[in-house]
Amino acid sequence: MNTPNSLIMRRALDLATLGRGHVSPNPMVGCVIVHDLGEGATGRILGEGWHQQYGGPHAEVNAVRAVLPADEALLPQSTAYVTLEPCSHWGKTPPCADLLIQKQLGRVVCCNDDPNPLVAGKGFEKLRDAGIEVITGLLTDEGRLLNARFFTAIEQQRPYVILKWAETADGFMGGPGATPVPISGPLAGRLVHRWRSEEDAILVGTTTARHDNPRLNTRLWPGRSPVRVVLDRTLALLTTLHLFDGTQPTLVYHRSGLDVPVASENVSYAAADSLPDLLTDLHERRIQSVLVEGGAQVLGTFLDAGLWDEIRQFRSMQTLGQGVAAPTARGTLVSREQVGTDELWTWRRA
């Protein structure tokens, strides 16, 4: 059931999503400040905000700044609905908990505790020590889903991994001999470029790099292009491919013990002898999410290792009859929707 409290928190969660693709490695956070009328009744919204840019003001700061000067006297009788525990430490900005204390907020309601060891309950402790009522656990699951990348990075010490592919109605994702074949439609293609703008990195293997010669940028959608990650175990790829054009940061992972080319502008090399090694290195580079776009062997490796969190599977109406077989999706099917002429199936690990 949607209580007034949960409706307001859903508004804060919606605001937080506006920071997607702009705040990593920080979490997405939204905040709504509401004047309370007492006895469970909810008054009007005084201010709201979200974390808009990494290194910029946090959600609580933007929400407080949105409060009109004439309404500041109402803050002691108001509640701040925040999707994540207010920070208690100095980073690129001052502690948000200190700001809420300074403004004498009457109450703070949160979805989730912050797992970051620099915070981890200290924000709530500060607020309670200052006499501010703190309520936690409202829409906890929704809050964790919103910041799945952030929680995965801290709790599992690896990036959040999204596997994406398009397959025909008869289960193929490429032609014979890995020949590239257009499968999904233009609307699906534009959506994929939006996804690229929202994630830290995008990953392909040697076969996809060689046969498709992809750019892996966001030319069909406004926003930043992700870091390109290329699996080239034996360093066999030609540097004339688009992936080596220097237009965006590119990481080439190879097996250890090889003679490595001299790094060029925006292209660097790193050794990784296993998938866990690769994900650990990406984590140490503060990359919180990876969109894996193939090919079939690379996707299968992630699936078999259990090192994935989400699958985005386009299904086309066309058939090929033969070619490169698509992986078998697994996990829990959480949504199925029409995207132009294609169906998009989304799966998550149980």
Q: Which residues are annotated as a binding site for substrate?
A: 196, 216, 219, 293
| Total domains in the fold of the chain | 2
Select from 134, 151, 168 the last residue of a domain.
151
Specify whether 129 is located in the same domain as 258: no
Specify whether 166 is located in the same domain as 134: no
Position 276, amino acid: P
Q: Which residues are annotated as a binding site?
A: 58, 87, 96, 166, 196, 208, 212, 216, 219, 293
Reported as a single tens digit per residue, the pLDDT across 143-202 is 999 999 999 999 999 999 999 999 999 999 998 988 888 999 999 999 999 999 999 999
Reported as a single tens digit per residue, the pLDDT across 284-327 is 999 999 999 988 999 999 999 999 999 999 999 999 999 999 99
Domain encompassing residue 121:
4-151
Q: Which residues are annotated as a binding site for Zn(2+)?
A: 58, 87, 96
Both structure tokens of 263: 């790094």
The whole-number average pLDDT for the span 15-42 is: 87
42 — pLDDT class (breaks 50, 70, 90): low
Q: For residue 75, report the phi and psi dihedrals to the nearest 5 degrees.
A: -60, -35
Specify whether 92 is located in the same domain as 171: no
pLDDT at 350 over 90: no
Higher model confidence: residue 250 or residue 37? 250
Please report, for the domain that includes residue 85, its CATH number.
3.40.140.10
Give 75: exposed, middle or buried? Use CB within 10 Å, 0-12, 13-18, 19+. Answer: buried
Specify whether 173 is located in the same domain as 146: no
- Per DSSP, the three-state class of 33 is strand
Specify whether 81 is located in the same domain as 31: yes
Select from 129, 151, 173 the last residue of a domain.
151
Specify whether 120 is located in the same domain as 254: no
Report the pLDDT value the prediction gives residue 307, as an integer from 0 to 100: 97
First to last CA, the chain: 25
Specify whether 13 is located in the same domain as 115: yes
Specify whether 175 is located in the same domain as 276: yes
Select from 151, 179, 201 the last residue of a domain.
151
pLDDT at 2 over 80: no
In the annotation, is 337 catalytic? no
The whole-number average pLDDT for the span 110-135 is: 91
Mean pLDDT of the chain: 93
Q: Which of 39, 48, 60, 343 is catalytic?
A: 60
38 — pLDDT class (breaks 50, 70, 90): low
pTM metric for this prediction = 0.93
Specify whether 147 is located in the same domain as 164: no
Reported as a single tens digit per residue, the pLDDT across 65-86 is 999 999 999 999 999 999 999 9
Specify whether 120 is located in the same domain as 12: yes
Report the pLDDT value the prediction gives residue 1, as an integer from 0 to 100: 41
Write the CA distances from 188 to 23, 70, 174, 328, 341, integer angstroms: 25, 48, 17, 20, 8
Please report, for the domain that includes residue 215, its CATH number.
3.40.430.10
Rg of the chain over all Cα atoms, to the nearest angstrom: 23
